[in-house]
Amino acid sequence: MPFTMMNRLYITVILAIACMYIANAQTTNNLTGSPYSLYGLGVFNEANLGKTNALGKSGVAFGSTYELNNLNPASLGSIFKKSFMFDIGINGEMDTYQNNKSDDSKVRTNFANLAVAFPVTPKSAVSIVLTPYSNVGYELIGLQTNVEGSTETYTTYVNGSGGLNSFKASYGIALNKAIRLGGSLEYIFGAIDENEVITYNNSYLYIDRNTYYKNLRAAVGAQIDVNEKFGFGATVKFPTSLHASQNIEVSKIIDLASITVSDDEELEIDNFDLPFEFAVGFRKTFADKFTINADYKRSLWGTTDQTDNLGTFKDKDFIGVGFEYLKSDRSFKYWDRVRYRGGFCYDNGYLTINDETIDNKALTLGLGLPLSLRNNSFINISYSYGKRGVVSSSLVKENYHMVSINLSLENMWFVKNKIN
Protein backbone atom coordinates (compact mmCIF):
# COMPACT_ATOMS: atom_id res chain seq x y z
CA MET A 1 0.00 0.00 0.00
CA PRO A 2 1.72 3.18 -1.14
CA PHE A 3 -0.27 5.48 1.05
CA THR A 4 1.62 5.26 4.33
CA MET A 5 1.39 7.18 7.58
CA MET A 6 4.52 9.05 6.63
CA ASN A 7 2.99 10.26 3.42
CA ARG A 8 -0.18 11.22 5.14
CA LEU A 9 1.90 13.40 7.42
CA TYR A 10 3.68 14.95 4.46
CA ILE A 11 0.41 15.75 2.78
CA THR A 12 -0.98 17.32 5.90
CA VAL A 13 2.09 19.48 6.42
CA ILE A 14 2.24 20.54 2.79
CA LEU A 15 -1.42 21.42 2.70
CA ALA A 16 -1.13 23.39 5.91
CA ILE A 17 1.82 25.35 4.54
CA ALA A 18 0.00 25.92 1.30
CA CYS A 19 -3.10 27.19 3.04
CA MET A 20 -1.02 29.68 4.98
CA TYR A 21 0.83 30.66 1.88
CA ILE A 22 -2.33 31.18 -0.12
CA ALA A 23 -3.98 33.15 2.66
CA ASN A 24 -0.89 35.30 2.92
CA ALA A 25 -0.58 35.75 -0.79
CA GLN A 26 -4.16 36.86 -1.06
CA THR A 27 -3.74 39.66 1.39
CA THR A 28 -0.30 40.92 0.47
CA ASN A 29 0.24 40.19 -3.14
CA ASN A 30 -1.71 40.02 -6.33
CA LEU A 31 -0.62 37.73 -9.04
CA THR A 32 -2.17 39.84 -11.68
CA GLY A 33 -1.69 43.49 -12.23
CA SER A 34 -4.19 43.52 -15.01
CA PRO A 35 -6.62 46.40 -15.08
CA TYR A 36 -9.00 43.88 -16.60
CA SER A 37 -9.08 42.17 -13.26
CA LEU A 38 -11.59 44.75 -12.08
CA TYR A 39 -14.27 42.92 -14.04
CA GLY A 40 -16.14 39.99 -12.60
CA LEU A 41 -14.04 37.86 -10.33
CA GLY A 42 -10.79 39.18 -11.73
CA VAL A 43 -8.50 37.55 -14.24
CA PHE A 44 -8.99 33.80 -14.22
CA ASN A 45 -5.86 31.88 -13.50
CA GLU A 46 -4.61 30.13 -16.60
CA ALA A 47 -1.39 28.84 -15.16
CA ASN A 48 -1.58 25.17 -14.42
CA LEU A 49 0.49 22.28 -13.28
CA GLY A 50 3.46 20.68 -14.92
CA LYS A 51 4.00 21.00 -18.59
CA THR A 52 0.69 22.37 -19.85
CA ASN A 53 1.78 25.96 -19.22
CA ALA A 54 4.34 25.60 -21.97
CA LEU A 55 2.01 23.78 -24.35
CA GLY A 56 -0.29 26.65 -25.18
CA LYS A 57 -2.02 26.10 -21.84
CA SER A 58 -3.64 23.03 -23.31
CA GLY A 59 -3.56 19.28 -22.82
CA VAL A 60 -6.88 17.67 -21.88
CA ALA A 61 -5.79 14.55 -23.72
CA PHE A 62 -2.62 13.95 -21.70
CA GLY A 63 -2.49 11.34 -19.01
CA SER A 64 -0.87 11.82 -15.62
CA THR A 65 1.64 9.06 -16.04
CA TYR A 66 4.69 11.27 -16.04
CA GLU A 67 3.33 14.52 -14.71
CA LEU A 68 0.16 15.38 -12.94
CA ASN A 69 -2.31 16.81 -15.47
CA ASN A 70 -4.83 19.05 -13.79
CA LEU A 71 -6.79 19.79 -16.94
CA ASN A 72 -8.66 16.48 -16.96
CA PRO A 73 -9.55 14.33 -13.93
CA ALA A 74 -9.65 11.25 -16.15
CA SER A 75 -5.88 11.54 -16.51
CA LEU A 76 -5.52 10.22 -12.95
CA GLY A 77 -6.47 6.78 -14.23
CA SER A 78 -3.03 6.54 -15.81
CA ILE A 79 -0.95 7.07 -12.67
CA PHE A 80 1.41 4.18 -11.99
CA LYS A 81 0.25 2.14 -9.09
CA LYS A 82 3.12 2.92 -6.75
CA SER A 83 3.54 6.46 -7.84
CA PHE A 84 3.14 9.41 -5.50
CA MET A 85 3.12 12.72 -7.33
CA PHE A 86 3.73 16.15 -5.99
CA ASP A 87 3.74 19.45 -7.84
CA ILE A 88 4.47 22.92 -6.58
CA GLY A 89 4.75 25.99 -8.73
CA ILE A 90 5.40 29.67 -8.63
CA ASN A 91 4.67 32.35 -11.17
CA GLY A 92 6.30 35.60 -12.06
CA GLU A 93 4.59 38.08 -14.30
CA MET A 94 5.69 41.33 -15.81
CA ASP A 95 2.92 43.37 -17.34
CA THR A 96 2.93 46.51 -19.36
CA TYR A 97 -0.26 48.39 -20.04
CA GLN A 98 -1.04 50.94 -22.59
CA ASN A 99 -4.06 53.00 -23.47
CA ASN A 100 -4.19 56.18 -25.46
CA LYS A 101 -3.36 58.22 -22.37
CA SER A 102 -0.51 56.53 -20.63
CA ASP A 103 1.41 53.33 -20.09
CA ASP A 104 2.87 51.55 -17.14
CA SER A 105 4.38 48.26 -16.11
CA LYS A 106 4.74 46.10 -13.07
CA VAL A 107 6.23 42.86 -11.91
CA ARG A 108 4.59 40.39 -9.59
CA THR A 109 5.37 36.94 -8.32
CA ASN A 110 3.08 34.50 -6.64
CA PHE A 111 2.24 31.00 -5.66
CA ALA A 112 0.86 29.07 -8.62
CA ASN A 113 -0.16 25.68 -7.36
CA LEU A 114 0.32 22.90 -4.91
CA ALA A 115 -0.80 19.42 -5.78
CA VAL A 116 -0.50 15.82 -4.72
CA ALA A 117 -1.76 12.70 -6.43
CA PHE A 118 -1.59 9.09 -5.43
CA PRO A 119 -3.28 5.86 -6.44
CA VAL A 120 -6.07 4.40 -4.36
CA THR A 121 -6.41 1.20 -6.34
CA PRO A 122 -4.13 -0.16 -9.06
CA LYS A 123 -6.41 1.44 -11.63
CA SER A 124 -7.53 4.62 -9.98
CA ALA A 125 -6.01 7.58 -8.25
CA VAL A 126 -6.99 10.79 -6.53
CA SER A 127 -5.44 14.20 -6.60
CA ILE A 128 -5.76 17.21 -4.37
CA VAL A 129 -4.87 20.47 -6.03
CA LEU A 130 -4.73 23.92 -4.61
CA THR A 131 -4.49 26.77 -7.12
CA PRO A 132 -5.48 30.38 -7.37
CA TYR A 133 -8.79 30.54 -9.24
CA SER A 134 -8.83 34.19 -10.11
CA ASN A 135 -6.75 37.18 -9.27
CA VAL A 136 -7.62 40.80 -8.78
CA GLY A 137 -4.94 43.41 -8.83
CA TYR A 138 -5.60 46.77 -10.35
CA GLU A 139 -5.01 50.33 -9.54
CA LEU A 140 -6.46 53.18 -11.51
CA ILE A 141 -5.61 56.72 -10.66
CA GLY A 142 -6.76 60.14 -11.57
CA LEU A 143 -10.07 59.32 -13.15
CA GLN A 144 -11.75 62.68 -13.74
CA THR A 145 -15.53 62.70 -13.69
CA ASN A 146 -17.91 65.60 -13.91
CA VAL A 147 -19.86 66.56 -10.86
CA GLU A 148 -23.44 66.41 -12.04
CA GLY A 149 -25.00 69.83 -11.91
CA SER A 150 -21.70 71.64 -11.98
CA THR A 151 -18.73 72.34 -14.23
CA GLU A 152 -16.37 70.93 -11.63
CA THR A 153 -14.84 67.49 -11.62
CA TYR A 154 -13.97 64.99 -8.98
CA THR A 155 -11.16 62.49 -9.11
CA THR A 156 -11.46 58.79 -8.48
CA TYR A 157 -8.76 56.39 -7.42
CA VAL A 158 -9.64 52.73 -7.56
CA ASN A 159 -7.70 49.74 -6.51
CA GLY A 160 -8.60 46.13 -6.15
CA SER A 161 -6.87 43.16 -4.69
CA GLY A 162 -7.51 39.61 -3.62
CA GLY A 163 -8.96 36.79 -5.63
CA LEU A 164 -10.49 33.39 -5.41
CA ASN A 165 -8.85 30.07 -4.68
CA SER A 166 -9.64 26.61 -5.79
CA PHE A 167 -9.32 23.53 -3.65
CA LYS A 168 -10.04 20.59 -5.90
CA ALA A 169 -10.27 16.90 -5.21
CA SER A 170 -10.32 14.68 -8.28
CA TYR A 171 -10.70 10.99 -8.93
CA GLY A 172 -9.82 9.16 -12.08
CA ILE A 173 -10.11 5.54 -13.05
CA ALA A 174 -8.90 3.49 -15.98
CA LEU A 175 -11.78 1.34 -17.23
CA ASN A 176 -9.43 -0.49 -19.53
CA LYS A 177 -6.25 0.24 -21.42
CA ALA A 178 -8.00 2.69 -23.69
CA ILE A 179 -10.65 4.47 -21.67
CA ARG A 180 -10.29 6.57 -18.54
CA LEU A 181 -13.00 8.46 -16.72
CA GLY A 182 -12.76 10.99 -13.93
CA GLY A 183 -14.59 13.53 -11.91
CA SER A 184 -13.72 16.35 -9.61
CA LEU A 185 -15.29 18.51 -6.99
CA GLU A 186 -13.86 21.93 -6.60
CA TYR A 187 -14.39 24.31 -3.70
CA ILE A 188 -14.01 27.86 -4.98
CA PHE A 189 -13.67 30.48 -2.29
CA GLY A 190 -12.06 33.81 -1.60
CA ALA A 191 -12.47 37.49 -1.21
CA ILE A 192 -12.07 40.49 -3.44
CA ASP A 193 -11.25 43.81 -1.85
CA GLU A 194 -12.04 46.97 -3.75
CA ASN A 195 -11.06 50.38 -2.55
CA GLU A 196 -12.29 53.56 -4.08
CA VAL A 197 -11.24 57.03 -3.10
CA ILE A 198 -13.00 60.08 -4.42
CA THR A 199 -11.44 63.46 -3.96
CA TYR A 200 -13.37 66.63 -4.38
CA ASN A 201 -11.77 69.88 -3.26
CA ASN A 202 -10.41 68.97 0.15
CA SER A 203 -12.93 66.24 0.84
CA TYR A 204 -12.30 62.56 0.40
CA LEU A 205 -14.75 59.69 0.21
CA TYR A 206 -13.33 56.28 0.87
CA ILE A 207 -15.28 53.15 -0.01
CA ASP A 208 -13.97 49.75 0.96
CA ARG A 209 -15.89 46.82 -0.46
CA ASN A 210 -14.98 43.32 0.59
CA THR A 211 -16.84 40.68 -1.35
CA TYR A 212 -16.71 37.06 -0.30
CA TYR A 213 -17.51 34.23 -2.69
CA LYS A 214 -17.82 30.51 -2.15
CA ASN A 215 -19.36 27.39 -3.59
CA LEU A 216 -18.64 23.96 -4.99
CA ARG A 217 -18.28 23.11 -8.63
CA ALA A 218 -18.28 19.69 -10.24
CA ALA A 219 -16.52 18.55 -13.38
CA VAL A 220 -16.16 15.29 -15.27
CA GLY A 221 -13.69 14.15 -17.85
CA ALA A 222 -12.87 11.32 -20.16
CA GLN A 223 -9.82 10.23 -22.10
CA ILE A 224 -9.65 7.73 -24.89
CA ASP A 225 -6.35 6.40 -26.12
CA VAL A 226 -6.45 5.13 -29.69
CA ASN A 227 -2.99 3.85 -29.04
CA GLU A 228 -0.07 4.93 -26.89
CA LYS A 229 0.76 7.69 -29.31
CA PHE A 230 -2.66 9.03 -30.12
CA GLY A 231 -5.47 9.96 -27.81
CA PHE A 232 -8.43 12.19 -27.19
CA GLY A 233 -9.71 13.92 -24.10
CA ALA A 234 -12.79 15.85 -23.09
CA THR A 235 -14.00 17.61 -20.00
CA VAL A 236 -17.21 19.19 -18.87
CA LYS A 237 -17.45 21.70 -16.05
CA PHE A 238 -20.90 22.20 -14.66
CA PRO A 239 -22.34 25.60 -13.94
CA THR A 240 -22.42 26.80 -10.38
CA SER A 241 -23.43 29.91 -8.59
CA LEU A 242 -20.89 31.41 -6.23
CA HIS A 243 -22.62 32.72 -3.15
CA ALA A 244 -21.60 36.28 -2.51
CA SER A 245 -21.75 38.52 0.49
CA GLN A 246 -20.27 41.93 0.88
CA ASN A 247 -18.96 44.18 3.62
CA ILE A 248 -19.00 47.84 2.74
CA GLU A 249 -17.26 50.39 4.84
CA VAL A 250 -17.66 53.99 3.79
CA SER A 251 -15.89 56.86 5.40
CA LYS A 252 -15.04 60.38 4.45
CA ILE A 253 -12.35 62.83 5.31
CA ILE A 254 -13.61 66.33 5.76
CA ASP A 255 -11.83 69.14 7.59
CA LEU A 256 -8.89 66.70 7.83
CA ALA A 257 -10.92 64.44 10.11
CA SER A 258 -12.10 60.95 9.27
CA ILE A 259 -15.79 60.19 9.70
CA THR A 260 -17.48 56.82 9.32
CA VAL A 261 -20.41 57.14 6.96
CA SER A 262 -21.61 53.58 7.08
CA ASP A 263 -20.28 50.18 7.96
CA ASP A 264 -22.43 47.34 6.69
CA GLU A 265 -21.48 43.73 7.08
CA GLU A 266 -22.57 40.62 5.23
CA LEU A 267 -24.87 42.31 2.80
CA GLU A 268 -26.53 39.89 0.42
CA ILE A 269 -25.50 40.68 -3.11
CA ASP A 270 -26.03 38.94 -6.42
CA ASN A 271 -24.36 35.59 -6.76
CA PHE A 272 -21.71 35.20 -9.40
CA ASP A 273 -22.59 32.44 -11.85
CA LEU A 274 -19.91 30.30 -13.42
CA PRO A 275 -21.01 28.88 -16.76
CA PHE A 276 -21.20 25.48 -18.34
CA GLU A 277 -17.82 24.78 -19.93
CA PHE A 278 -16.61 21.99 -22.11
CA ALA A 279 -13.24 21.21 -23.63
CA VAL A 280 -12.06 18.70 -26.19
CA GLY A 281 -8.53 17.92 -27.24
CA PHE A 282 -6.17 15.40 -28.73
CA ARG A 283 -2.52 14.42 -28.58
CA LYS A 284 -0.40 12.73 -31.18
CA THR A 285 3.19 11.58 -31.03
CA PHE A 286 5.30 11.27 -34.16
CA ALA A 287 8.53 9.37 -34.55
CA ASP A 288 8.73 8.82 -30.78
CA LYS A 289 10.11 12.32 -30.45
CA PHE A 290 7.51 14.88 -31.41
CA THR A 291 4.19 15.29 -29.67
CA ILE A 292 1.58 17.78 -30.68
CA ASN A 293 -1.66 18.49 -28.89
CA ALA A 294 -4.54 20.89 -29.23
CA ASP A 295 -7.55 21.87 -27.13
CA TYR A 296 -10.72 23.71 -27.86
CA LYS A 297 -12.74 25.01 -24.96
CA ARG A 298 -15.99 26.88 -24.88
CA SER A 299 -17.35 28.66 -21.83
CA LEU A 300 -21.01 29.56 -22.10
CA TRP A 301 -20.84 32.87 -20.21
CA GLY A 302 -23.63 34.25 -22.35
CA THR A 303 -26.11 31.88 -20.76
CA THR A 304 -25.33 33.03 -17.23
CA ASP A 305 -27.41 36.13 -17.90
CA GLN A 306 -25.12 38.33 -15.89
CA THR A 307 -24.06 41.87 -16.49
CA ASP A 308 -21.13 43.78 -15.21
CA ASN A 309 -21.42 47.51 -14.75
CA LEU A 310 -19.87 48.26 -18.10
CA GLY A 311 -19.30 44.91 -19.71
CA THR A 312 -21.64 42.30 -21.11
CA PHE A 313 -20.90 38.63 -20.68
CA LYS A 314 -20.51 36.56 -23.82
CA ASP A 315 -19.46 33.03 -24.66
CA LYS A 316 -15.74 32.52 -24.71
CA ASP A 317 -13.82 30.31 -27.08
CA PHE A 318 -10.35 29.08 -26.32
CA ILE A 319 -7.89 27.39 -28.61
CA GLY A 320 -4.56 26.10 -27.41
CA VAL A 321 -1.93 24.22 -29.34
CA GLY A 322 1.20 22.64 -27.92
CA PHE A 323 4.29 20.94 -29.22
CA GLU A 324 6.92 18.90 -27.37
CA TYR A 325 10.23 17.45 -28.48
CA LEU A 326 12.00 14.74 -26.53
CA LYS A 327 15.04 13.01 -28.02
CA SER A 328 15.03 10.09 -25.61
CA ASP A 329 13.99 9.66 -22.02
CA ARG A 330 16.39 6.75 -21.58
CA SER A 331 19.49 8.50 -22.84
CA PHE A 332 22.42 8.98 -20.49
CA LYS A 333 23.06 12.39 -21.98
CA TYR A 334 21.21 14.87 -19.83
CA TRP A 335 20.20 17.24 -22.62
CA ASP A 336 18.75 14.34 -24.60
CA ARG A 337 16.32 13.79 -21.75
CA VAL A 338 15.22 17.40 -21.59
CA ARG A 339 11.80 18.11 -23.01
CA TYR A 340 11.53 21.13 -25.28
CA ARG A 341 8.09 22.69 -25.51
CA GLY A 342 6.28 25.39 -27.37
CA GLY A 343 2.76 26.46 -28.07
CA PHE A 344 0.26 29.24 -28.44
CA CYS A 345 -3.23 29.97 -27.32
CA TYR A 346 -5.97 32.38 -28.14
CA ASP A 347 -9.27 33.26 -26.56
CA ASN A 348 -11.83 35.86 -27.45
CA GLY A 349 -12.68 36.78 -23.88
CA TYR A 350 -15.88 36.53 -21.91
CA LEU A 351 -16.68 40.23 -21.79
CA THR A 352 -17.76 42.81 -24.29
CA ILE A 353 -17.01 46.35 -23.19
CA ASN A 354 -18.28 49.19 -25.35
CA ASP A 355 -18.77 46.69 -28.20
CA GLU A 356 -15.14 45.67 -27.96
CA THR A 357 -14.03 42.24 -26.84
CA ILE A 358 -11.02 41.70 -24.67
CA ASP A 359 -9.24 38.95 -26.48
CA ASN A 360 -6.14 37.32 -25.24
CA LYS A 361 -3.34 35.66 -27.15
CA ALA A 362 -0.13 34.16 -25.92
CA LEU A 363 2.96 32.37 -27.15
CA THR A 364 4.42 29.80 -24.82
CA LEU A 365 7.83 28.19 -24.53
CA GLY A 366 9.16 25.76 -21.98
CA LEU A 367 11.65 23.21 -20.80
CA GLY A 368 11.08 20.07 -18.81
CA LEU A 369 14.30 19.41 -16.92
CA PRO A 370 14.44 15.89 -15.50
CA LEU A 371 15.81 15.55 -12.00
CA SER A 372 16.55 11.85 -12.01
CA LEU A 373 16.70 8.81 -14.23
CA ARG A 374 14.90 6.70 -11.69
CA ASN A 375 11.59 8.57 -11.63
CA ASN A 376 9.49 11.12 -13.42
CA SER A 377 10.61 14.19 -11.52
CA PHE A 378 11.04 17.40 -13.39
CA ILE A 379 11.57 21.04 -13.04
CA ASN A 380 9.24 22.55 -15.62
CA ILE A 381 10.03 26.06 -16.70
CA SER A 382 7.70 27.88 -18.97
CA TYR A 383 7.59 31.31 -20.40
CA SER A 384 4.66 32.93 -22.08
CA TYR A 385 4.27 36.23 -23.78
CA GLY A 386 0.76 37.47 -24.26
CA LYS A 387 -1.40 40.38 -25.21
CA ARG A 388 -4.76 41.23 -23.80
CA GLY A 389 -7.19 43.94 -24.91
CA VAL A 390 -6.78 46.77 -27.36
CA VAL A 391 -5.56 50.30 -27.19
CA SER A 392 -8.52 52.63 -27.17
CA SER A 393 -10.02 55.39 -25.15
CA SER A 394 -11.83 53.13 -22.80
CA LEU A 395 -9.81 49.94 -22.97
CA VAL A 396 -6.30 49.02 -22.23
CA LYS A 397 -3.86 46.88 -24.07
CA GLU A 398 -1.85 44.73 -21.83
CA ASN A 399 1.33 42.87 -22.69
CA TYR A 400 2.47 40.28 -20.25
CA HIS A 401 5.51 38.13 -19.78
CA MET A 402 4.89 35.22 -17.50
CA VAL A 403 7.44 32.79 -16.19
CA SER A 404 6.30 29.79 -14.23
CA ILE A 405 8.43 27.24 -12.53
CA ASN A 406 6.98 23.94 -11.43
CA LEU A 407 8.64 21.32 -9.38
CA SER A 408 6.94 18.08 -10.39
CA LEU A 409 8.11 15.21 -8.25
CA GLU A 410 7.24 11.58 -8.48
CA ASN A 411 7.83 8.86 -5.94
CA MET A 412 10.84 10.44 -4.33
CA TRP A 413 9.66 10.00 -0.79
CA PHE A 414 8.43 6.53 -1.46
CA VAL A 415 11.81 5.53 -2.67
CA LYS A 416 13.28 6.60 0.61
CA ASN A 417 10.57 4.81 2.52
CA LYS A 418 11.38 1.61 0.77
CA ILE A 419 15.03 1.94 1.65
CA ASN A 420 14.14 2.53 5.27
What is the spatial distance between Cα 23 and Cα 45, in angstroms, rounded to a whole number? 16
Residue 287 is a binding residue for other proteins (CB under 8 A): no
Phi and psi angles of residue 185, each rounded to the nearest 5 degrees, phi first: -125, 125
Which sign does the torsion angle of CA 66, 127, 124, 84 carry?
positive
- Using CB under 8 A, which of the segments 75-83, 253-261, 290-298, 371-379 binds other proteins? 253-261
Q: How far is the CB of 247 from other proteins (least distance, A)?
A: 12
Q: How far is the CB of 401 from other proteins (least distance, A)?
A: 16
- Considering only CA atoms, which of 241, 74, 237 is closest in space to residue 170? 74
What is the spatial distance between Cα 196 and Cα 269, in angstroms, rounded to a whole number? 18
Residue 268 is a binding residue for other proteins (CB under 8 A): no
Strand partners, 220: 183, 236
Single residue of 28, 149, 266, 418 touching other proteins by CB under 8 A? 149
Site pattern 154..183 for other proteins (x: CB under 8 A): x-xxx-------------------------
- Using CB under 8 A, which of the segments 1-9, 86-94, 112-120, 202-210 binds other proteins? 202-210
Question: Residue 149 to residues 21, 145, 205: CA-CA distances in angstroms?
Answer: 49, 12, 19
Burial class (CB in 10 A: 0-12, 13-18, 19+), 275: buried
Burial class (CB in 10 A: 0-12, 13-18, 19+), 88: buried
- Using CB under 8 A, which of the segments 163-171, 272-280, 371-379, 390-398 binds other proteins? 390-398
What is the spatial distance between Cα 188 and Cα 22, in angstroms, rounded to a whole number? 13
Nearer to other proteins, 196 or 273 (CB): 196
How many Cα atoms sit within 13 Å of 147 on the Cβ side? 11
314-343 residues near other proteins, rule: CB under 8 A: none
Phi and psi angles of residue 49, each rounded to the nearest 5 degrees, phi first: -85, 160
Q: How far is the CB of 283 from other proteins (least distance, A)?
A: 40
Residue 35 is a binding residue for other proteins (CB under 8 A): yes
Single residue of 148, 228, 305, 355 touching other proteins by CB under 8 A? 148
Residue 400 is a binding residue for other proteins (CB under 8 A): no
Q: How far is the CB of 233 from other proteins (least distance, A)?
A: 36
Instruction: Name the site residues for other proteins (rule: CB under 8 A).
Output: 33, 35, 38-39, 97, 99-104, 106, 139-145, 147-150, 152, 154, 156-158, 195-198, 200-201, 203, 205-208, 248-259, 261-262, 308-311, 353-354, 392-396
